[in-house]
Amino acid sequence: MKLFDATLGKIETALDLRLERQNLLTSNVANADTPGYVPRDFDFAKAMADAEAPLAMAQPEGQSSSMAHAAATAQPQLANTQPGFDQNRVDADQAMVALAENGLQYGANAQAANKKLALLLYAASDGTS
């Protein structure tokens, strides 16, 4: 059991990926009226698993490569959406739900980072704070 384990690193990767996903989801909302636009998204769990793999292999580029990988795995989401008359496939409800959900998950991750840091602080201050 180590004090400085991989937890914070994992939380950092998760926060990065959540922000990356937020950017994609935001652009889906912004393009809700663009003719022919197909919403984009990536599978967070899969991206997280992919991001952990290069970490284990101590890739020199580390994080930036995992971010690029996550972005590269982002796929146009064709499933479950009906194109409108202008061939736009953004479902406003779905887009907003995904946005809110991702934002909440980001908050949860930020809180996890807070708890971990509070734990370190508690240990560093001999349990007095």
Binding site for another protein (CB under 8 A): 15, 18-20, 22-27, 29-35, 37-38, 40, 42, 67-68, 71-76, 92, 95-96, 99-100, 103, 106-107, 110-111, 113-114, 117
CA 54 to chain CA centroid, Å, is 17
- Cα–Cα distance measured from residue 120 to residue 122, given in angstroms and rounded to the nearest whole number: 5
Contact of 16 with 67, CB cutoff 8 Å: yes
CB of 39 to another protein, least distance (A): 10
What spatial distance separates the first Cα and last Cα of the chain, rounded to whole Å?
A: 22
Q: 53 or 64, CB closer to another protein?
A: 64
| Cα–Cα distance measured from residue 7 to residue 102, given in angstroms and rounded to the nearest whole number | 20
Give the shortest CB-17-to-another protein separation in angstroms: 11
CB closer to another protein, 10 vs 18:
18
